[in-house]
Amino acid sequence: MKTLIKLLYGKTVVVLSCGISMESSKLEPSKKPLNVLIKQLNAQVTITLKNGVEYKGRMTRCDGHMNIMLDGASESMKDKLIANYGTVLVRGNNILYIALDTGRGKY
């Protein structure tokens, strides 16, 4: 099964294909998904999971598997708030896409 993770960074969309190796020579280092994420540490992000649940919060850590730690996280589904958390670890293989805050407003 082919799984794609889309990183939305302003008007740029970077697509990561999980489980299938990407040719790293085709993307310049600043556009590689993990490098884009690392540059956004301590920024507000919105993570949408494959089951439709969304997490919003300040991204404090991420790793090579795209596991992401959020502080001040809130969980919602279909724009309805489910819960507020202090710190949440989101497992990378559950992520459908990540929307990065590009300064267009606060969550």
CATH number at residue 8: 2.30.30.100
pLDDT single digits (tens) 54-87: 999 999 999 988 999 999 999 999 999 999 999 9
Number of domains making up the chain: 1
Residue 39 parent element (H or E): helix 33-39
Q: Is residue 105 part of a domain?
A: no
Q: Is residue 106 part of a domain?
A: no
Q: Is residue 20 part of a domain?
A: yes
| pLDDT score of 15 more than 70 | no
CB within 8 A of 26, min separation 6: which ones?
none
Domain containing residue 21: 3-100
In terms of Cβ atoms closer than 10 Å to its own Cβ (0-12, 13-18, 19+), residue 98 is buried
